Amino acid sequence: MSVVHRLTAIFAFVATLFASSAYAAEWSTSQLVTGVQVTASSGGSATFYVLSSGWGSASCPTAQWAYIDSSATGASEILALAMQAKQQGKYVQIYGTCSSGYFIITALYVLS
């Protein structure tokens, strides 16, 4: 099993742990990553943004940007997967919650 497949499996497992939380976490539709942005945050961390034509989740249907703070567990790995998916033209699904028109990333799944 490759590193990417292992990371994908780990993130999918972690996402299922959050599925029963009080937040309305959900999976996005399958989308191509059209951009990746890293922005410094005031607290000394960074925010990783992933752009698509629209993540299409039920609670955030028009959100084009999804993000995760670099201090979150697994954030660097999610950023790496997003960049690799963009480079290889692979579709991804994001698991997370909608907030203020953005999709907050909990997990990212790269489709083969």
What is the dotted CATH code of the domain comprising 3-110?
2.40.50.110
- Whether this prediction's pTM lies above 0.85 is answered by no
Q: What is the pLDDT of residue 22?
A: 43
Residue 80, burial from CB neighbour count under 10 angstroms (0-12, 13-18, 19+): middle
Integer Cα distance of 20 and 6 in angstroms: 23
Tens digit of pLDDT for each residue in 8-56? 655 555 554 444 344 489 999 999 998 998 888 777 778 889 888 888 8
Q: What is the pLDDT of residue 88?
A: 95
Tens digit of pLDDT for each residue in 67-90? 998 889 999 999 999 999 999 999
Fill in the amino acid letter for 31.
Q
Structure tokens at 51: 């752009």
Domain residue spans of the chain:
3-110
Closest CA to 29 of 82, 78, 95, 86: 95
